[in-house]
Amino acid sequence: AQSVTQLGSHVSVSEGALVLLRCNYSSSVPPYLFWYVQYPNQGLQLLLKYTTGATLVKGINGFEAEFKKSETSFHLTKPSAHMSDAAEYFCAVNSNLVYNQGGKLIFGQGTELSVKP
Amino acid sequence: NAGVTQTPKFQVLKTGQSMTLQCAQDMNHNSMYWYRQDPGMGLRLIYYSASEGTTDKGEVPNGYNVSRLNKREFSLRLESAAPSQTSVYFCASSQGTGREKLFFGSGTQLSVL
């Protein structure tokens, strides 16, 4: 069975500081990994994803994440936080057991990011 | 483009009442999903439909039923609502390869009194 654990339900950083949001997954097969962001009173938007290939993936708004198989991790980083980054962030995993047959996307509990001026 | 459309946006039910949440997508996607979002719990998958004609249970299916009416529409039914089903419900769709992003509806805020 697949699962996702996000360490820290709330993270607070100062504007300009490094953002690090942690995500660990469990999967019996090579996973597809995603980070989504949810701004207040909105739906979810995709930030970035890892499927195959390069393990360091870049997304929108300056975010990036690195897939580390040995650590079963997919942590999200941004070098310099901006006030507009304040939102809730969700890590998600899809263990697609049958190629091109969809599969279910399982989300972590979410991490709320606050950015202090 | 409408994308994923959910109705209603808000609903208040009394315990024991039934209702159906409607979802439709206009992107010709194969897969559709129903999630519920609760504080501190993230999004939990209720049911999903990998393709037209198929449905499968997710993490929290108890108390819910679904119907994939056709390729466009995927409805979620609460037969006898309970206070524990108070939540925000999101419908989503995707092409269905597992590697692409999900497109989410705007959500339904449901309160069960």
A43 vs B40, B99, B107: nearest CB:
B107
Res. A101 pLDDT band, cuts 50 70 90: low
| pLDDT above 80 for B32 | yes
B10 in contact with A, Cβ within 8 Å: no
Tell me the shortest Cα–Cα distance from A50 to chain B, in angstroms. 8
Of the candidates A68, A74, A81, A109, the one whose C-alpha atom is nearest the C-alpha of residue B37 is A109
Q: Do B43 and A43 touch (CB under 8 A)?
A: no
Is residue A73 within 8 A of residue A24, CB to CB? The reply is: yes
Tell me the nearest-neighbour CA distance from A46 into chain B, angstroms: 6
- Residue bearing the bigger pLDDT, A101 or A70: A70
**Are B104 and A105 an interchain contact pair (Cβ–Cβ within 8 Å)?**
no
Q: Could you tell me which of B29, B11, B28, B32 has the C-alpha nearest to residue B20?
A: B11
Q: Are B60 and B46 in contact (CB under 8 A)?
A: yes
Q: How confident is the model at residue B1 (pLDDT cuts 50, 70, 90)?
A: low
Q: Which of B101, B103, B108, B109 to mutate to test the interface with A (most CBs of A within 10 A)?
A: B101
Of A7, A33, A16, A35, nearest to A78 by C-alpha is: A16
- How many CA atoms lie less than 13 Å away from A48 in the CB half-sphere? 21
